[in-house]
């Protein structure tokens, strides 16, 4: 099949966008955290999280075909529920979740980069590299010099090739006893552990933003969603199997911030460590670039929709500059002050709420999207059930993080409420469905 034809995206391009979004920085950042929570059950945790993502991708596929636009999630929610207070709050929560993801990618970039320095100076280098990654890539976006973005296809190929090499070489040395059910965490902890790493799958929703540029969207978009998520599930499960089977749990947890690189040592030696570290830095750099641009664009779309101040609509050098600078500034604070577990919990909780809302949107619009309503209802149940397990795990292990989640959700609501009061807009939760996606 031809990939790009008459200015339209084909199956391979769209699928690559989804895979690139998922295999961005997530797997490099959260693998060690997953093992810490689930022990030998880490592959099962990635499978559970993948199933939630796969069911949710059904709603995204149907909505993308019915309402193609660059707005993606924002448009879907507005179509189903109207631009009311609740929809505006969820849209702002999406923006905040993007900022958390950006912080996580920056943290992973700094952690893998610092692992190349002597242990005594690693903490200092981690914060230097975190800050440098955000400032440098924000600068590139301000100058409209998307050097990393233009190389994205090659970066995706390189990181996939390195991960496949990691699996192919490491799978033969796996210690099966470390993967046996006796080595797993409790069932509830296993599910909760899968949900705290759910953010490793959230990138498939980027496909929605390409919908209006896809050739034969009705046929290509569903295939791209399902095959992209399916491929990543298999990839993540295999990576988790090799990691858990190659190293004792204590070693993985000690190297939690750069666990994947450490797991390459037994089969590939120091060369493998360096390969994975370089792949992680390339991958997280491209993810930072894509996410900082996407978050700035999202703030622009939300402002155009009347749910954020119109100052965020203004552009300089072709970019929504206020949204870009606010996004980068908040990211600098979170990435340098929060820990990996807090960022993962915030990011996963945010996207589980958003994906529950998108499943809800497809339930409401099932006739328009020609969907099986029951499947989207299952998606709502899976997302909310997963969120409940994540909150339970957080309450048991780190109750202080519950306040972070409340602040995150409360901030989204208060920002939208304050803006509506200041602009004398309606405070109703919903204003009914729109007639056109472009409205």
Most confident of 11-25, 102-116, 307-321: 102-116
Say whether 260 sits in a helix, a strand or coil: helix
| The predicted structure's pLDDT at residue 144 | 56
| The predicted structure's pLDDT at residue 435 | 44
Cβ–Cβ under 8 Å, residues 387 and 356: yes
Per-residue pLDDT at 417 exceeds 90:
no
Cβ–Cβ under 8 Å, residues 72 and 211: yes
Q: 322 falls in which pLDDT band (50, 70, 90)?
A: low
Per-residue pLDDT at 271 exceeds 50:
yes
DSSP letter (8 states) at residue 5? E
Cβ–Cβ under 8 Å, residues 196 and 345: yes
Task: Please give the model's pTM, rounded to 2 decimal places.
Answer: 0.84
| The predicted structure's pLDDT at residue 3 | 47
Choice among 206-215, 257-266, 267-276 with the minimum mean pLDDT: 206-215
Choice among 66-70, 152-156, 422-426 with the minimum mean pLDDT: 422-426
Choice among 29-33, 228-232, 286-290 with the minimum mean pLDDT: 286-290
Mean pLDDT of the 29-45 span:
88
Per-residue pLDDT at 255 exceeds 80:
yes
Per-residue pLDDT at 141 exceeds 80:
no
Q: 225 falls in which pLDDT band (50, 70, 90)?
A: very high
Mean pLDDT of the 291-304 span:
61
Mean pLDDT of the 148-152 span:
54
Give the count of beta carbons closer than 10 Å to the beta carbon of residue 400.
8
Q: In whole angstroms, what is the distance from residue 244 CA to residue 262 CA?
A: 11
Q: In whole angstroms, what is the distance from residue 436 CA to residue 129 CA?
A: 45
- Top-confidence residue, 216 or 377: 377
pLDDT in tens, 2-18: 444 555 778 888 888 88
| The predicted structure's pLDDT at residue 186 | 85
| The predicted structure's pLDDT at residue 317 | 38
The pLDDT > 70 percentage for the chain reads 83
| The predicted structure's pLDDT at residue 154 | 74
The pLDDT > 90 percentage for the chain reads 29
Q: In whole angstroms, what is the distance from residue 112 CA to residue 124 CA?
A: 13
Say whether 136 sits in a helix, a strand or coil: helix
* Burial of residue 226, with CB atoms counted within 10 A of its CB: 0-12 exposed, 13-18 middle, 19 or more buried: middle
Per-residue pLDDT at 387 exceeds 60:
yes
Q: Kindly list the distances between the CA atom of residue 108 and the CA atoms of 123, 130, 171, 279, 343, in Å, as whole numbers in the listed order.
A: 13, 8, 25, 12, 11
Mean pLDDT of the 247-268 span:
87
| The predicted structure's pLDDT at residue 403 | 83
- Top-confidence residue, 376 or 102: 376
Q: What class is the 8-422 domain?
A: mainly alpha
| The predicted structure's pLDDT at residue 124 | 94
| The predicted structure's pLDDT at residue 4 | 45
| The predicted structure's pLDDT at residue 368 | 93
Q: 241 falls in which pLDDT band (50, 70, 90)?
A: very high
User: Mean pLDDT for the chain?
Assistant: 82
φ/ψ (deg, to 5) at 228: -65, -50
- Top-confidence residue, 236 or 26: 236
| The predicted structure's pLDDT at residue 53 | 95
3-class DSSP string for 213-230: HECCHHHHHHHHHHHHHH
Q: 355 falls in which pLDDT band (50, 70, 90)?
A: very high
First to last CA, the chain: 35
Per-residue pLDDT at 208 exceeds 70:
yes
| The predicted structure's pLDDT at residue 99 | 87
């Amino acid at each position: 099949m031809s990939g790009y034809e008459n200015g339209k995206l084909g199956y391979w391009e769209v699928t690559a966008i989804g895979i690139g979004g998922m295999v961005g920085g997530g797997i490099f950042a959260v693998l060690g955290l997953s093992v810490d929570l689930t022990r030998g059950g880490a592959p099962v945790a990635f499978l559970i999280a993948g199933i939630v993502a796969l069911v949710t991708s059904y709603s995204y596929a149907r909505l993308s075909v019915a309402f193609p636009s660059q707005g993606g999630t924002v448009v879907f929610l507005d179509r189903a529920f109207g631009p009311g207070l609740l929809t505006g709050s969820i849209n702002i929560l999406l923006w905040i979740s993007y900022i958390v993801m950006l912080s996580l990618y920056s943290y992973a970039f700094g952690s893998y980069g610092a692992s190349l320095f002597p242990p005594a100076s690693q903490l200092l280098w981690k914060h230097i590299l975190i800050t440098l990654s955000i400032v440098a890539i924000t600068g590139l976006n301000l100058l409209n010099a998307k050097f990393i973005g233009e190389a994205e296809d090659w970066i995706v190929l390189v990181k996939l090739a390195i991960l496949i090499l990691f699996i192919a070489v490491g799978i033969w040395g796996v210690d099966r006893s470390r993967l046996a059910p006796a080595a797993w965490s409790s069932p509830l902890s296993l599910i909760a552990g899968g949900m705290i790493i759910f953010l490793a799958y959230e990138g498939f929703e980027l496909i929605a933003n390409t919908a209006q540029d896809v050739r034969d969207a009705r046929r290509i978009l569903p295939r791209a969603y399902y095959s992209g998520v399916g491929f990543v599930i298999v990839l993540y499960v295999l990576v988790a199997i090799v990691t858990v089977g190659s190293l004792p749990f204590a070693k993985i947890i000690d190297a939690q911030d750069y666990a994947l690189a450490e797991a390459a040592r037994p089969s590939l030696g120091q060369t493998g460590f360096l390969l994975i570290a370089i792949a992680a830095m390339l991958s997280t750099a491209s993810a930072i670039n894509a996410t900082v641009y996407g978050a700035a664009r999202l703030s622009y779309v939300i402002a155009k929709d009347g749910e954020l101040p119109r100052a965020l609509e203004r552009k300089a050098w072709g970019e929504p500059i206020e949204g870009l600078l606010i996004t980068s500034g908040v990211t600098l604070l979170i990435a340098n002050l929060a820990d990996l577990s807090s960022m993962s919990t915030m990011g996963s909780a945010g996207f589980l709420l958003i994906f529950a809302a998108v499943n809800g949107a497809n339930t409401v619009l099932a006739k328009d999207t020609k969907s099986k309503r029951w499947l989207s209802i299952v998606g709502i149940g899976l997302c909310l059930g997963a969120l409940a397990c994540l909150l339970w795990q957080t309450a048991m292990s780190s109750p202080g993080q519950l306040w972070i989640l409340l602040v995150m959700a409360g901030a989204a609501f208060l920002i939208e409420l304050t803006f509506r009061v200041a602009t004398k807009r309606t405070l109703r939760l919903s204003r009914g469905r729109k007639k056109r996606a472009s409205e």
